[in-house]
Structure 1
Amino acid sequence: MLIRLGVHYIVTDMNVAYYSLIKECFPNTKRFHIVQHLNRAFDGVCKQIMK
């Protein structure tokens, strides 16, 4: 078995170019959009502070 087939999670930004590459090279993975999650968390903190 290839090592890349054992990869389950990949952390990326929201760049669309990564999607096809990851799907082709790492078919068993779930993508995690770190920048999107960080932005949502930051927005939540900002909203709490502003209240």
Structure 2
Amino acid sequence: MEPRTRETIEGIVQAVCDGDDVAIRTLLAALAAVADTASLLYLRERLYAPR
């Protein structure tokens, strides 16, 4: 996975934790342009990981 993709995913996770809807939408749009199956599975894993 590209480092930029991983950074975008981590940004999404942080935005979800913060409840920042605008950032979530912006970051998801950026991820959609480059995401593959592995990226989406990683996003799912990070969102469901205990904090």
Q: What interval of TM-score do these two structures reach, taking the shorter chain for normalisation?
A: 0.3 to 0.5
- The structure number with the bigger radius of gyration is 1
Comparing both structures, which one devotes a greater share of its residues to strand?
1
Give the structure-2-normalised TM-score.
0.34
Comparing both structures, which one devotes a greater share of its residues to helix?
2
